[in-house]
Structure 1
Amino acid sequence: MTETFFGEFDLASLSLWLFYIFFAALVIWIQRENMREGYPLEDDEGNPASSPGLFPLPEDKTFKLPHGRGEISVPSGQAPERADIPMKRVGPGNGYPLEPTGDPMLDGVGPASWAPRQDHPELDGHGHPKIVPMSGAEAFRVAAGRDPRGLPVVAGDGEIVGKITDMWIDEPEQLVRYLEMELDPKWGSGTRLMPITFARIKSDRVAVHALYGKHFATIPSIASPRQVTLLEEDKISGYYGGGKLYAGSRAEPKL
């Protein structure tokens, strides 16, 4: 009886090794695809990292952006990072914390930091801005809870800095994202946006613990009264977040 090739060949072992090879190749491919954002790596001071990673960067892939916003190629076509950020390292080696060298809230560092996002509004599936003022969206109304429009805005130090004039809604999600307030002349001029998550709506006021009265004049403003861009959103949210640490003497020791 003639023996065939597979008579003494372990097909189960072959299947197992093919699976190992496939799985290893899959892990490497996924890891390289994951390197299209945030790479090549940099250290805390913006210099190329000493250990760039185990795998090489993937080749450029070009994506067509929706609604006629052009194309973007990554990883080489990424938006440049912020440069000359006013912070310094407190120690000589990588990993030491950074401390601000100026006004951290105005400089946008630490919890007040923001990323250089695209300076255009986020769009819905139909190409329209997602976040718009409720005063221009006739199909929306306050169905439950306290309508904050007309209520005074009280800062973290007890100062009344203005009043709520409008709400900005995310139309596709049907959520309130921002409150619009008009500042009293003592605390600045014009209107500013406040993320709804930083507002505490009471029966007679809207309390904002994150900021003190003197900080409201320098809240980042928006270019258009009818829409807010991704970059503006990041700067506004970062400013309020920074107030949680930097407003007043909050960054000082408590003991």
Structure 2
Amino acid sequence: MTEDYIVGNLDVASIALWLFFFFFVALVIWIQRENQREGYPLLDEDGTQADAGGVFPNPADKTFILPHGRGEVTVPSGQNPERDDIDGKLTRSHESGGFPWDPAGDGLADGVGPASWAARKDVPELDGKGHPKIVPMSATENFHVAAGRDPRGLPVVAADGAIVGKITDMWLDEPEQMVRYLEIELDGDYGEGSRLVPLTLARIWGNQVKVKSLNGENFAGVPKTAAPRQVTKLEEDKICAYYGGGPLFATGDRLTPVI
């Protein structure tokens, strides 16, 4: 007898199911639009807006307050500016889309292809307390080499066997408590001054440090840091990209197909 129930003959289970369904659909749409805050609208290689094929429009602008007094950022309209130095450094290999573009000059120096970098903020990455995360070991008294081979003082050997300099310091990610970069003091024949090399692209073998992605002549072009004891996010991207592009661009014979 329906009159014995508060809701009468109303199907509460069915209503709850439909409410959940519409809520879930709305949640998926909201998440998909929020996913389009960074990197949207998509652009083709020639700079024109790409047809992403999506059914949902970009979300409305939202302003985020950055920590440690670094201002505000509004997305999706306030995207980081695209690199303004690409024009003329790439040539189109095919007219149809989907094919890679070839470097017009020196891929390492121009920062294109596998050596490309993103226009990140030219400020250091900070920890939760507002201090630079990555610092030289020589600038802190809280760390020392407890195990393994201390690379400081060891010669640096390039892919072609050239000894380009020696390791003078290690740069630490203090919050993560790990080494991110090794600092190289280059010899005069290979550029002079200090350069950083990502630890993941260096190998410590006994009494030497090997860097197989670059030849000796390429080390002079490794991007420098503006400050002697600080590296910015933009500088990090350029340094890592330079070494990352070495396996293809360091020698001409690496550009040809290998069978």
TM-score normalized by the length of structure 2: 0.94
The question of whether the paired residues in 1 share the 8 Å contact of 2:155 and 2:209 is answered with yes
Cα distance between partner residues in 2 of 1:97 and 1:252: 15
Give, in whole Å, the separation in 2 of the partners of 1:171 and 1:74.
30
Give the deviation of 1:6 after TM superposition. Answer: 4.4
**Residues 179-202 of structure 1 deviation map (CA, whole Å, 9 limit, x = unaligned):** 001111111111100000011001
Aligned to 1:82: 83
Give the aligned partner of residue 192 of structure 1. 195
| Match of residue 9 from structure 1 | 10
The partner residue of 1:239 within 229, 236, 242 is: 242
Which deviates the most, 114-123 or 7-16? 7-16
d(CA) in 2 for partners of 1:144, 1:131:
21
- SS of aligned partner of 1:225: coil
Match of 1:35 in 2: 36
Runs (4+) off by over 6 Å: none
**Counterpart position of 2:256:** 252
Q: Which amino acid aligns with 1:11?
A: V
Q: Aligned residue for 2:136?
A: 133
Q: Which residue of 2 aligns with 1:203?
A: 206
Matched residue type, 1:164:
I
Q: CA deviation at 1:56?
A: 1.0
Aligned length: 255
Name the counterpart of 2:73: 72
Specify the SS of the correspondent of 2:36.
helix
> Could you list the per-position Cα deviations for residues 113-149 of structure 1 after superposition, in whole angstroms to 9, with x for gaps in the alignment?
1100000101111111110111111121101110011
Give the unaligned 5+ runs of structure 2. none
**What's the % identity of the aligned pairs?**
65
AA paired with 2:127?
A: D
- Given that 1:119 and 1:232 are in contact with CA atoms closer than 8 Å, whether structure 2 keeps it comes out as yes
CA shift for structure 1 position 45: 1.5
Per-residue deviation at 1:89? Answer: 2.7
Q: CA deviation at 1:13?
A: 1.9
Query: How far apart are 1:160 and its partner, in Å?
Result: 0.5
* Aligned-residue offset at 1:59: 1.0
Alignment partner of 1:250: what SS?
A: helix
- Across the aligned residues of Structure 1 and Structure 2, the Cα RMSD in angstroms comes to 1.6
8 Å contact from structure 1 (residues 168, 177) kept in 2: yes
- Corresponding residue for residue 228 of structure 1: 231
Relative to structure 1, the CA distance from residue 168 to residue 51 in structure 2 (aligned partners, 3 Å threshold; closer, same or farther) is closer
Q: 1:71 deviation in Å?
A: 0.7
